[in-house]
Amino acid sequence: MVHFIPLPKLPSAEETAEVVLHLLFRLHGFPRDILSDRGPQFVARFWKAFCNLLRATVSLSSGHHPQTNGQTERLNQELETGLRCLASRNPSSWSKHVIWVEYAHNTLPCSSSGMSPFQCAYGYQPPLFPSLQREASVPSALDLVRRCHWIWTRQALLRNSARYKKAADRHRLPAPSYQSGHRVWLSTRDLPLRVESLAMVHEGSSHVPCQSTEAAVGKHIGPSLQSPATPRFIGGGPVYTVKKLLAVRLQGRGRQYLVDWEGYGPEERSWVSARNIMDLVLIQDFHRLHPEEPGPSGAGR
């Protein structure tokens, strides 16, 4: 079952959370796992914290490997094909046709189960469009229903004639079964490494899963979560710029600082352990301006 939600622009992580709360979770409950691509809203700190509070795990597809989330990719193609046909004369009206592409998909039977997604979810098949032979006393209402019926029929024909899964699987082989601890070759073709090399093909062997290394120069620290903006790469690891340290708090036996990141909005501010802040000048400057806050011995001098 799918839900297509038209949006005026690419939403931020906070806007995405609002959308799924009001339009998805209220219908189906909180999820146990959320599988998504690596869009900026899904790798943001806000989204990770939001899912963690809901006790939902975050699963991100591999870069340049859309097959990880194959169902969504096929449905995106189906939606794009339907909207191209339905809104070809007036492209700006695409958002009005989204509901009928969704309705057609959810009410048409699936070849694998013989039932529609609607029937699998709710236990019964919804009523389809009745015969439109009768006349109506309000012509505008009749025109609306006829237009909706045509859109639904057109999408049903497109969906039945397009065999996305068969066409995609015909040229695919089962993927290798990787386990944690296996050693693999990591291709650098799609990695934005800033290195002087004329023929670098692979970056040695690594363990699965892989994590980016931390590096720091000047007023930078390397958080463990990739951020939406493109980081600088120094020493093979991503480096992010700190705009300002806003606050400090005691956490266990150490301290954490609330970091305002350069190039990010307030929703991306996050608490970072003091040991991960490589440039101690940042901490010294903070305690010089806030001598009343708890800090290391002599930090304010």
The per-residue b/e assignment along 255-267, b for 16 or more CB within 10 angstroms, e otherwise, is bbbebbbeebeeb
What mean pLDDT value characterizes the chain?
76
User: Which sign does the torsion angle of CA 52, 55, 56, 60 carry?
Assistant: positive
What is the full per-residue pLDDT of the chain (301 aa) written as tens digits? Answer: 899 999 999 999 999 999 999 999 998 999 999 998 888 999 999 999 999 999 999 998 876 666 667 788 888 888 888 888 778 788 888 898 888 888 888 888 877 788 889 999 889 988 776 665 567 678 788 777 777 777 777 767 766 665 555 666 677 777 778 888 888 877 766 666 554 433 333 344 333 333 333 333 434 444 434 444 566 666 666 667 888 999 999 888 889 999 998 888 888 888 888 888 878 889 999 999 998 887 775 444 4
Supply 236's token pair: 């093979």
Residue type, position 228, single letter: P
Q: Which residues pair with 272 in a beta bridge?
A: 257
Both tokens of residue 234? 């120094």
β-partners of residue 255 are: 250
- Which pLDDT value is given to residue 11? 93
Question: Residue 223's pLDDT is what?
Answer: 43
Residue ranges per structural domain of the chain:
13-128+149-169, 213-289
Confidence (pLDDT) at 186: 74
Give how far the C-alpha of residue 278 lies from the chain's centroid of Cα atoms, to the nearest Å. 30
Say what the pLDDT of residue 193 is: 56
Model's pTM, two decimal places? Answer: 0.57
Q: Taking the CB of residue 269, how many other CB atoms lie within 10 A of it?
A: 18
Structure tokens at 206: 């690594």
CA–CA separation, 160 and 174 (whole Å): 26
- Decide if 13-128+149-169 and 213-289 have a common fold: no
Task: Quote the pLDDT of residue 191.
Answer: 65
Q: Which 3 state secondary structure label does DSSP give 255?
A: strand
Residue 82 CB neighbours (<10 A): 26
What per-residue confidence (pLDDT) applies to 195? 46
Residue type, 47: W
Span 213-289: which CATH code? 2.40.50.40
Angle at the Cα of 237 from the Cα atoms of 233 and 243, rounded to 5 degrees:
65
13-128+149-169 to CATH, choices 3.40.50.970, 1.10.3720.10, 3.30.420.10, 1.10.1740.10: 3.30.420.10
Q: Which tens digit of pLDDT belongs to each residue from 271-288?
A: 888 888 878 889 999 999
- Distance between CA 291 and CA 299 in Å, rounded? 9
The Cα–Cα gap between 7 and 35 comes to 20
How many Cβ atoms are within 10 Å of 141's Cβ, its own excluded? Answer: 10
Nearest one of 60, 47, 59, 57 to 21, comparing CA atoms: 47
The pLDDT of residue 297 is 58
